[in-house]
Structures are given as structure tokens and as C-alpha cells.
Amino acid sequence: MAQLTESVANLIDQLARLPGIGRKSAERLAYHILRVHPSEALELADAIRRVRENVRYCGVCFNLAETDRCIICQDPKRDQSLLCVVEQPRDLMSLEASGTFRGLYHVLLGRIAPLDGMGPDQLTLDALVDRVRTGEFKEIIMATNPTVEGDGTALHISNLLADFPLEITRLARGITTGSILEFTNKEILADALSGRQKF
Ligand SMILES: [Zn+2]
């Protein structure tokens, strides 16, 4: 690769760091970017810059937002008595796509995973407990992934919330154990939500 200019080599290196992109794909993408109209290539660069400059976590639920509150927290029509707890913003997107949930969310920004060095302190649990304390929730739905770590995280949270007068449920096990919410199709997610069980 001695013939690559420094900036082409750098672009390939950057692309190859993306998940699921190997060296060959990175090269293909780099040559594609060199071939398209400069304005098209710069739109991509701009989109990356804009998303990093403008997108932050919602100050209430930790969903992705472009202002202090995400669009779900800003929506007065959402059911204020239902709170669905998920690991990541992309899990929230999957549940939203199922179109059946009208309550609010709380995004943990991770799960308890001791082997990866993720403890409860790194999740948004203090904010969750504060919301439950000051909110009007009647039901908390655990929608962590049905994995050992997701289940452990849900158990930890149900213990944290045990003294509050509310019902704690979890998604029905229509989702195969070990499967990941973001890859589960929306019909199955809708079933899992409507068939949720007492934790
Ligand atoms: Zn929010």
C-alpha cells in the first residue's frame, strides 16, 4: 500500500475502525468517497460532525436528543404512569417501532456486566430512582435484554425499587433467551409488551 497518499490511507484507517467494516470494505468505501461528487462526500462528513455536535442524552430519560428533553419526554400524550426501562437508545427505538407502547422510557446506558467492568454505578440508576420517587408511575416494565447480564440488571433494579408502591413487570419471553432487542422484529416485540409478566 506504499502507493496510497497519506490522506487516503488515513481515511481507510478511520473507516476500518467502524464496527463490521473490515479492511477490504474500508478500501471500497474510501474509493467510493473519492469517486462521488465532492459535495456528496462532504455531506457525509457534515452529517457525522452534526450528529456529534448536536446529539446529547435527554436530561430526563437518557434517550438521544437534540435539546434538553427528547421528543418522547416532551410529548404530553405519553402515559405518565408507565415506565419502560431499556439498556440502550437503540432498544428504545426498537420498542417504539413496535408501535404499541405509549408510556415513558428510562435508558440505562448499559447493563451490569462485571466481566466488562460495568458496575451499577456506571448506569443511570440514581436518575431512575429519583424519577420513580417524584413521578406518578404505577408500573415499571423491565425491557433489558433477555441475557444473563440483562436479567441480572433487571433483578438489581427490581430490588432497588422494591419499596415503592408500584408493579414491576418484564417483557414476555416470546423473545428467545439470549436474543437482542434491537434485532427482534416488531411483531414479536409488540407481543412481548402486551404479554408482559409480573417480575
Ligand atoms: Zn427523554
Using the mean position of ligand 1's atoms as its centre, give its distance from the Cα of residue 55 in Å. 12
- pLDDT of amino acid 2: 58
3-state helix, strand, coil in the chain (%, to 5): 50, 15, 35
Using the mean position of ligand 1's atoms as its centre, give its distance from the Cα of residue 63 in Å. 5
Using the mean position of ligand 1's atoms as its centre, give its distance from the Cα of residue 57 in Å. 8
Using the mean position of ligand 1's atoms as its centre, give its distance from the Cα of residue 62 in Å. 6
The protein residues having their C-beta less than 5 angstroms from ligand 1 (an ion) are 58, 60-61, 63, 70, 73
pTM above 0.85, yes or no: no
Please tell me the distance from the alpha carbon of residue 6 to that of residue 141, in angstroms, as a whole number: 51
Using the mean position of ligand 1's atoms as its centre, give its distance from the Cα of residue 89 in Å. 10
Please report which helix (H) or strand (E) contains residue 79, including its range. Answer: strand 79-86
List the pLDDT tens digit at each of the 199 positions of the chain. 557 899 999 999 999 999 999 999 999 999 999 999 999 999 999 999 999 999 999 999 999 999 999 999 999 999 999 999 999 999 999 999 988 899 999 999 999 999 999 999 999 999 999 999 999 999 999 999 988 999 999 999 999 999 999 999 998 876 565 567 776 778 778 878 887 888 8
Using the mean position of ligand 1's atoms as its centre, give its distance from the Cα of residue 52 in Å. 18
Please tell me the distance from the alpha carbon of residue 196 to that of residue 192, in angstroms, as a whole number: 6
- pLDDT of amino acid 178: 57
CA distances from 15 to 12, 31, 54, 80, 151 (A): 5, 11, 22, 42, 34
Please tell me the distance from the alpha carbon of residue 94 to that of residue 145, in angstroms, as a whole number: 12
